[in-house]
Amino acid sequence: MARPDKAAAVAELTDKFRSSNAAVLTEYRGLTVAQLKTLRRSLGENAQYAVVKNTLTKIAANEAGITLDDQLFAGPTAVAFVTGDPVESAKGLRDFAKDNPNLVIKGGVLDGKAMSADEIKKLADLESREVLLSKLAGAFKGKQTQTAQLFQALPSKLVRTVDALRAKQDEQGGAE
């Protein structure tokens, strides 16, 4: 790798691996330029889809501290570098691959951990971060409501029990 242009390409790819939350490796053989343009749009604003050279990408991944299986670098490869929500980009790739079987998801990396193609498809099945946070907030709110009802029920139950005891004592006192 003595050539300066290759060194610059490796440095750029290394930087992309380091600055990304996730990277998904795909095979794009058979896709037209128009289809690739559509794919780039479907990934969202927080992802870049780049056609890369396998050898340089493997070197860049190693320099970024990411270990990827050699099988991911077979055939023509393109990488989706995701800087935002990886679920959104995984959904975009999955949906595009359904309509265009020439796009093959090979595998990838999420927060430094290697992922298989199946794991990326499972990631795509998750709901978005905003939806999950909304559900979590709703669950917390529900638990708070239940706790408040419990704390309100205890004093009122105590008052009813004391009233019942007082009424029972009055009945027993009047009977003697």
For the chain, which residues make up each domain, given as ranges? Answer: 1-125, 130-175
1-125 architecture in CATH?
A: 2-Layer Sandwich (3.30)
* 1: pLDDT strictly greater than 60: no
Has this prediction a pTM greater than 0.75? Answer: no
What torsion, rounded to 10 degrees, do the Cα atoms 36, 86, 105, 14 define?
80
* 173: pLDDT strictly greater than 60: yes
What torsion, rounded to 10 degrees, do the Cα atoms 124, 129, 130, 136 define?
110
The rounded distance, in Å, linking the Cα atoms of 106 and 72 is: 6
Show the beta-strand stretches assigned E in the chain.
Answer: 22-27, 47-52, 77-82, 104-110, 113-116
